[in-house]
Structure 1
Amino acid sequence: MEFKFKKIARFSVPLFVATILFACDTSELKTTSDSDEVLEPSPIESNPEVSNIATLNYLRKDANYDGWGLHIWNDDPNCDGATDSAVTDWDNPLLAISEGENGGVYDIPLKPGATCVTYIMHKGGEKEPGGDRQWDMQSLGKNVYLVQGKADLSMTPSALSVYEGTKGVLIDATSIAWQVGSADSYEMHYLENGGFEINDNTGVITSETIAIPLIEDALTDVAKRYSDYAGFTFSLPEGISIDTLVNGQLVLVAKNAQGQVFDATGVQLAPGLDAVYAISEGAQNEALGAIVSGNGASFKLWAPTAKNVSLYLYDDNLNMIPGAVLPMRRKANGTWETEQMVADALGKYYRYEVTVYHSALDSVETLQVTDPYSLSLSSNSLYSQVVDLSIEAKPVDWDTHIIPTVNNPEAQVIYETHLRDLSSAPGDGGTDELDGKYMAITETERESVKQLTSLVANGLNVIHLMNVFDIATVNEDPALRVELNDTVAKLCKLNASANICDTGVGQSTIREVLEGYGPQSADAQALMNDLRMLDSFNWGYDPFHYTTPEGSYATNAKGTIRIEEFRTLIMKLHEMGYRVIMDVVYNHTNSAGIDDKSVLDKIVPGYYQRLNASGYIETSTCCSNTATENVMMGKLMTDSLVTWAKDYKVDGFRFDLMGHQPKQLMLDSLVMPLN
């Protein structure tokens, strides 16, 4: 779990609106090895076990622990053993108290009876592999060892691994870049299903691989970030194509004169996937997603590293349709498509099943995933839905309503607002059912609607809506969400450990209870903490699907209702005299890897997320950065913007953390909706 707050820009310009760019430290630790010396840990424990302290010993190749620390949190009630004083912010991890023969020594104060701590070892955006980790003290004890490049803790000291990170880069179909020291020879090893293993003591590869010699050759015409890397070329052996190469595990090794491997690392694929598939084979020009023709549809998913992709169709009750598991075929550009038009697909729900090697997990995974090009979704975004935006979900007069114009950018007077906050004030004259909803705009006696009307008369002419695309952290099922007007009993049904549950106020509303507390009291803070993650308060900076309206603002989150109601909001604002700017967040995703709320990283692992030099996902945005410098992520952003502009009549966009997108992509995206 990684989280940090970010500011919201409040200044806009026509069509695309700039955001504040935060400076961050993007320096990355780079290590090379030019020796076959084997580093052995000392068996001596660094700190004796004591009842209220857990000690983690962390060993690095460079023995540099400056800035490396533990991010610790207690969100999981089954793994919340750290004391409150040990819980950290991402920017201020728990640092080593000393250094010993087994590396940096990290002491974690524990609660009485603690058995588990949740942590990430990191330095800024550079992290040890494995994502969120849990230290089970009942199995491992309270004194453990972690070595660079490995995810798992050990009860005894472990040797530093020769194989570490994902520091090599596939540049194109015949070239590799690698920041590596001098060696007697270099090789690339291919494993169809992963599982590379090496004896760290002898430098001998113990897994079965196909070895491909690497020839040193200067790099030309590569991205600036790789300009100081060593360059290599390779020739594919008979029976191995570039398509085969990218759907397995690739490991680069450096050998000494005795043939021992002294350095080994994985390979980042993104530049090569762009060169071979997105550009040369033309995937950047493909129409992707569910492409409707009449009542039928064809389906296309770009997944060049996948071993197999199938389409699953579901009925309106989200039951799988008998016989509706459809094979998809791979095109030369890495796009998988249904072999023929799928009849009667309109309105059906669907998911893809993708079988692909995940380098971060070193395993082949078969996972069902929604469409990154989803235009309509089920409740809680578990299934994509086939929809034709050109003919469906249109409010009356949608096609003919007039959009106001502002001739000069300087004449824009912009009001930034959050839909939920704008329309959920108690006693404002609207119906409770529409509080915080798109359709609140239709209630002309609602005070917020009256206020918007009066502001137009006083010169306001642009509404900037904070995030209304599909987000990941508000439950779209009202029965599983707790609002201020819900009872304490409902809160306790969903969170039985809430402090208020034993106070006998079950029939009071949350709002009534809060009004009885001092705003800065411990009771108020405790209640809000127990409500957190169950209510609908959210600014929306956690994108799930970029091109579908958020379902919690609709009267029914399932299917096309959210589309029609969001269009109604846009149309009513236009009719009042406002142009509409929409906040967009293409710089990160809510999740990555195989997490429940991950989409892109399940389909092409390591491509859509921005990786640092060691191969770990960058998190400078707050969460898992997206790599909009990669062609197909840039295409996804641009295609999404075109949909919002063309099919929803959105007049402009304010980009969250715009500096995380390449300048040229921003300029190109500015033109696309106009075309």
Structure 2
Amino acid sequence: MDLTRQRAHWIDRSTVAWRFEGPVGDRRCDLVWSADAALEIIDGALSGPHETLPLRVKPGGLTSAQRRQWPHLADHAAFTVEADEETIKRALTAQVAVTARDEGGWLLVATGAQLPGVLDDVYADAVHADLGCRFHDDGGVTISVWAPTARWVALEWWATGETDPEIIAMWRDDHTGVWRVDGDWGWTGRRYRFRVEVYHPATQRIETMSVTDPYSVALTANSTHSVVANLLDPLLIPADWGTLRKPPAVSPARAQVHEVSVRDFSIYDRSVPEQKRGTFAAFATPNSTGMRHLRRLADAGVTHLHLLPAFDFATVPERRDEQQHPEGDLAALPPDAKEQQERIDAVRANDGYNWGYDPLHYSVPEGSYSTDPDGPERITEFREMVAALNGTGLRVVMDVVYNHTVAGGVNEHAVLDRIVPGYYHRLLADGRVADSTCCANTAPEHAMMGKLVVDSVLRWAIDYKVDGFRFDLMGHHPRENMVAVRTALDRLTPQRDGVDGRSILIYGEGWDFGEVGGNQRFVQASQLQLAGTGIGTFNDRLRDAVRGGQAFETNPRSQGYASGLFTDPNGDDVNGPAEHQRARLLFQQDLIKIGLTGNLSSYRFVASSGAVVTGGEFYYNGARAGYCASPGECVTYVDAHDNEILFDTLAFKLPASLPPADRARMQLLALSFTVLGQGMGFVAAGSERLRSKSLDRNSFDSGDWFNAIRWDPAEGNGFGLGLPPAWDNADKWPFAAPLLADPALIPPPEVIEWTVERYLELLRIRRDSPLFGLATAVEVQDRVSFPLSGRGETPGVITMRLTGVDDFVVIFNAAPRTVAQKLPDLRYGSFDLHPHQRASGDDHLLQSAFDQATGIFTVPPRTVAVFTGTAPRG
């Protein structure tokens, strides 16, 4: 018997689901509640004043509809609750438990009850409520919060300069459970919080807590108070915001995305005024080094800039003068030293750096990214950033993290759980909050959490004109929730809402794991479940094949297609003997081919085994390699903020003796798959310029030293800044130290610029031909082929042909030697290196050639060559 756990589930107004040992027929079961949270187990008996409702066993258990809605409870016994709605609502504001007694009345079992299901049933119409701060055309203001289990809610209200709040009573709508208070536009700029009196299962007590508004639109510094603000106020709107011209919309299959952290982008950019470095305002500095580089990318064909979380998050002091800095001159320390990361460790809890995957308020820009976190600048500067990037030719994607909050319970950062305890988070079988995503997992399967996701996305789309959303750990969302987001965006029109919602991208991490894995609780928004929705997921199959190894490998020297497996072995035993390497390389080439088609489940090709298969019939780690219904549902990438950035991956895997120029060619080869494949291309910012994080595989809290983009090539690329932080990398230090100590691995400025120029050429090739962004699976099957696939294909070489108004032959050569690829069907055709590559002046690349008489394409080592022309007639 344990009232601190909630093993029963009150799933709707008439049903409790509960699993316990032994038969239930001879037991008397009750639903009990205590308005004063006075329930206790004393000497095996239930003590404390309470009310009781009898529970009757339902023969046959849950209905089929209930099992579909609650699949993880399918084997639980079901009990009928008989009570009127008023009684149920009264019980829901109390401490609720379920008990079982024997025939003599002795207490056998007692446990708390999980309430989200019954709350969604009884307060179903709350999903239509307007929450947060709303301004009305008649001059009125309404502030509302959903708190159906609260006994009392009031508004804490601060006048300018006052330290003690005024308490204003809020009135409750018993139908929806929404509390509200009405005022007028004169409230603008006032600070406020909600004072909530509510039973909290984390403490087993009635708690009175002061909480910010989960629907906040503005905040004070460090998110201590919500602020009344009208996002339509002219003082918050940049000039020409209402007539902002977006770059031309592109389909997901044509999108080319660049990912960057707001702080990484400019914190070390000396061409940005110091007070603007690391902020939204840096993007509105048009002649900075970083913005000039983004303009080059946009001109060449990058369509979207993806920002790591830029909403309000919890782990960074927002005022610059409160942020700590590591001691001493880190640049003076040896490149393989421990001291750099030790000094960063000493301040990282209070420095200015974090990726931001620790949400606090979902719909307000992050204050540390503003020049003044205590005023309206965070709103105006975010909008100015969007306008500036749009003016550069880039649409803006936001990384959103609705799958967890930074904390639950009564923690000061637990905004949602202090207002409706036990509702917004996903609970395990015993009532503990699930944390498989690293923090307190939210539950978008519950109606009001699902509503919050949709409402927040619409806020960013309409009020901030954001052009896309990347969902963190999207597989922890129900597919239904993601489809609801897509549907809500699709309804937005330029005439009514100022944006075309159909042009807004949605993609995310479709990983399948944790307490929801395998559709245990709902049909997930995971890789294998989203075909046909138009929602994209990251393709880890191609990523792993190109890089080698897997995301959480223990030996970082396991090689892949672009890191020298079989063709350029590094000598580490992890790769096995040559014959195993060859077989694995050919398998990787098949995964890459599927990825180059947009990871289509239906695409049919000849595998290296000689068998004709579809992407969906080819398996990787026990799952279908191809799973997309259309190419736009595939996000092709070889690196991102997570895990080692591409340069560092290759540093671990390539032979240590390989010079920087050849490393750059292998990096370009790896990046070429994100540009020349079907579907959405995605690249971590700086990989096109050989950016390193000094081998740090998880730099979310590693400070500016390891993360900042160094725009001046004379300062290096970030390699050799010291051993990466011990808290996530110590197991790899034996591999890392000798590499970091080798100055020959740092690319000189001319190699960095060479890589940028070659990458831009590939982007221009993609930009200028619709064949590198086909919209449908049928088009891909008809126009994309791998003519030399099969038993005789060359290890380390992939030959891809695209047919249309122009014909393309793309040859990816990962081998350290010149290769010849013979396509007899193209004898007497007319093919030459693509004009963008011919204009490069790269003598190495210009060795690529086509022989009409034989149909042989010749490509030099470690090179991707794109040929264009016409096939022979007849």
Does the pair score TM above 0.5? yes
Mapped to 2, the partners of 1:176 and 1:364 lie a distance apart of: 24
Q: Give the corresponding residue for 1:196.
A: 39
TM superposition shift of 1:519 = 3.9
What's the offset of the Cα at 1:483? 4.1
Q: Residue 300 of structure 1 aligns with which residue?
A: 144
User: Which of the residues 306, 310, 324 maps onto 1:464?
Assistant: 306
Distance 1:162 1:351 in 2: 34
The percentage of aligned residue pairs carrying the same residue is 36
Q: Which residue of 2 aligns with 1:215?
A: 56
Give the equivalent residue in structure 2 for 1:367: 209
Q: How big is each residue's C-alpha offset from its partner over 1:1-21, in whole Å with a ceiling of 9 and x where there is no partner?
A: xxxxxxxxxxxxxxxxxxxxx
RMSD over aligned Cα atoms: 1.8
Q: Which residue of 2 aligns with 1:136?
A: none
* Contact 1:250-1:267 at 8 Å conserved across structures: yes
Q: Aligned equivalents of 1:265 and 1:338: distance in 2?
A: 33
Q: Could you report, residue by residue, the CA deviation over 1:375-412 in whole angstroms, capped at 9, with x for unpaired residues?
A: 10000011111111123411111111101123332221
Aligned twin of 2:669: none
Q: In 2, are the aligned partners of 1:376 and 1:386 still within 8 Å (CA)?
A: yes
What is the number of residues matched between the two proteins? 480
CA distance in 1, matches of 2:299, 2:57: 70
Q: Which one-letter code corresponds to 1:399 in the other structure?
A: G
Which of residues 181, 186, 200 is equivalent to 1:344? 186
Say whether 1:480 aligns with 2:326.
no
Counterpart mapping for 1:168-567 below 5 A: 168-181=8-21, 182-183=23-24, 184-200=27-43, 203-217=44-58, 218-220=61-63, 221-222=65-66, 223-236=70-83, 241-277=87-123, 279=124, 282-293=125-136, 296-317=140-161, 319-320=163-164, 324-342=166-184, 344-392=186-234, 393-426=236-269, 428-483=270-325, 488=327, 510=328, 513-567=329-383
Question: Distance in 2 between the 1:619 and 1:442 partners?
Answer: 38
More helix by share: 2
Which amino acid in 1 is paired with 2:107?
Answer: V
| Offset of residue 163 of structure 1 | 4.6
- In the alignment, the residues of structure 1 paired with residue 303 and residue 353 of structure 2 have an alpha-carbon distance, to the nearest angstrom, of 27
Alpha-carbon distance in 1 for matches of 2:438, 2:362: 17
Larger radius of gyration: 2
Deviations 1:51-76 (A, max 9, x none): xxxxxxxxxxxxxxxxxxxxxxxxxx
The answer as to whether partners of 1:406 and 1:412 remain within 8 angstroms in 2 is no
Deviations 1:514-564 (A, max 9, x none): 112224323223211112112112111000000000000101001321000
CA distance in 2, matches of 1:318, 1:538: 32
**In the aligned structure 2, how far is the partner of 1:349 from the partner of 1:383?**
6
Could you tell me how far apart the structure 2 residues matched to 1:564 and 1:252 are?
51
Q: Does the 8 A contact of 1:518 with 1:524 survive in 2?
A: no
* Distance in 2, Cα, partners of 1:601 & 1:192: 19
Aligned-partner Cα distance in 1 for 2:2–2:290: 63
Q: Cα distance 1:563–1:462, how it changes in 2: closer, same or farther (>3 A)?
A: same
1:523–1:407: structure 2 CA closer, same or farther, 3 Å change rule? closer
Aligned equivalents of 1:546, 1:164: Cα separation in 2: 30
| Equivalent position of 1:3 in the other structure | none
Distance 1:573 1:180, change over 3 A: same
- Give 1:209 shift: 2.1
SS, match of residue 213 in structure 1: strand
Superposition pairs for residues 147-186 of structure 1, below 5 Å?
A: 161=1, 163=3, 165-181=5-21, 182-183=23-24, 184-186=27-29
Measure how far apart 1:319 and its partner are.
3.4
Distance 1:318 1:567, change over 3 A: farther
| 206-215 vs 531-540, which moves further | 206-215
Q: Is the 8 A contact 2:7 2:431 kept in 1?
A: yes
Pairing of 1:592-671 with structure 2 (within 5 A)? 592-671=408-487
Unaligned runs of 5+ in 2: 492-874
Q: Distance in 2 between the 1:586 and 1:310 partners?
A: 27
Higher relative contact order (CA 8 A, sep 6+): 1
Q: How does 1:68-147 map to 2 (within 5 A)?
A: none
| 1:193-215 residue CA offsets vs partner (Å, 9 max, x unmatched) | 21322235xx3223232222111
Structure 1 Cα separation of the partners of residues 221 and 378 of structure 2: 10
Look up the SS of the partner of 1:606 in the other structure.
coil
Q: Distance in 1 between matches of 2:257 and 2:45?
A: 65
Please, what TM-score do these two structures have when normalized by structure 1?
0.69
Query: TM (normalized to structure 2)?
Result: 0.53
Between the aligned partners of 1:377 and 1:234, the Cα distance in structure 2 is 43
Distance 1:298 1:424, change over 3 A: same
| 1:250 Cα deviation from its structure 2 partner | 1.2
In structure 2, the residue corresponding to 1:368 is in which secondary structure?
Answer: strand
Shift of 1:342: 4.3
Distance in 1 of aligned mates of 2:162 and 2:73: 47
- State the shift of 1:663 in Å: 0.2
Q: Distance in 1 between matches of 2:393 and 2:364?
A: 25
CA offsets, 1:132-187, max 9 Å, x none? Answer: xxxxxxxxxxxxxxxxxxxxxxxxxxxxx555620111122232111123242111
Q: Which amino acid aligns with 2:49?
A: E
The residue correspondences of 1:48-67 to structure 2 (distance < 5 A) are none
Counterpart secondary structure, 1:326? strand
